[in-house]
Structure 1
Amino acid sequence: MDKLRSEGSKLTLSMIVRNEADRYLRRALEAHRDYIEEAVIIDDGSSDDTADVCRDMLSGIPLHLVRNKQSTYHNEVELRKQQWHETVSRKPDWILNMDADEWFEPGCRPLLDETLRQRQSDAIYFRLYDMWSETHYREDFYWRAHQTFRPFLIRYQADAAYEWKETPQHCGRFPQSIQYFSYNCHPLRVQHYGWVKPEDRRAKYDRYMRLDGEGRYGWIDQYTSILDEKPNLIPWEG
């Protein structure tokens, strides 16, 4: 599909990946390539074919791929700063920050094009749905991210002052100073598939407990709830 847009509306995908070759990376990049003009990807110490998947799925699209020899996710804020530095070095107009298991619902291209052309808002907020299966998302006391709008897309402003939440976990995918940008809450929904498989849920639980077992940066009860055997699930309606 033709990706030509008006001046000032180039969309750059920014992503951090690690050992994603056999998970959801192909599906995510297949969805994103329909509307992005460029991609900046930090491969944070993968030991599989993640880098090759990125090159293959984004063939024909400018790709700035940075490969870390060792993972630095244990200090997420430094990794996010690296992602930010590499992304803004490409002089983007708009930055779409997605994880390797997240993508918009189908049919998003026209709505995104319209959003990138508008001049009123510099940060676009969306609802994130934590998919607990291919057809259902989770909704309960601990899992209700979709009830809140959060930023995934911003217009880059080179002259703005950017400051980070200086925590080793849960620091945010963007500098916290974007909270002062003019913003819009968008109707498009983001699906997050990182919880779909039981083995992925167990791996995330183990990682959170290893990196934040005392709940200093996150919510310990939510970590524990990851392993609930019968969570409340709601059918996804497309």
Structure 2
Amino acid sequence: MSKVLAFFSKLRRKGLRSSLRLLCERTLYYHWELLTLERSLDESFLPRDFKRGRWRSVQITPALLPGFGKYFQPQLPAIRGLLAKGCSGSAHLDDDDNVIMMLWVNESDYYDDQLYRAWFRIPPHCIYQFFVECAVPYRGSGLALLAQSEMWDEYRGRGFDKVRSVVNTRNEISLKMHVRGGYQEVGEAVHVYCLFRCLHFNRLQRYAEPRLEHLRKPSTPFLVDTPLPSADGGNAS
């Protein structure tokens, strides 16, 4: 009975049309549009008065996997997959060595075999940043900004000069975070399609006119830590 009540509560909250769309995407068909955004690693990122806090930063290795249990247990299969592919991950820990923030990058072309089933082509001296997530109790603390700034400092010292990310056009919070954090559109959109949750295909679209200028507020830093992309694309980053 409780599950039935929960179902009708969610239906009432989301509305019939949104619920039917979500049901269709999870069973029959979905189409996501991902915009490619790019930022220079040489530009300042953290506000001048930003307080770094006491969080310790470490590289993600198999030995760190138990530390994900408290806040990121559902993501462990994906994390193991990224380690197996050789991706580079950085984590921040609390005083009890629980992972409270993670950030992943790849240094060349990347095939996303977990969510989008698509290739993302990365130019030379550029890193691809993805799978950025902050534990719920620490969102809004600026920890995501700190993690990115530290990762970028490392790669800038190794000769990289740009970072790229893709963002689902449905995720306005993530789009705002990127645009107000200095990211620019490169004029590429990847369209991802899926039929019956098993047939995946995609196409690349190029465009000339900027699409995100309405989200830009140059004088206001945006300190929102976005959650992990959901399976339906609602929070893709």
Give the TM-score of the pair, scaled to structure 1. Answer: 0.24
Task: Compare the two structures and name the one with the higher strand fraction.
Answer: 2
Larger Rg: 2
Greater relative contact order structure (CA < 8 Å, 6+ sep): 2
Give the TM-score of the pair, scaled to structure 2. Answer: 0.24
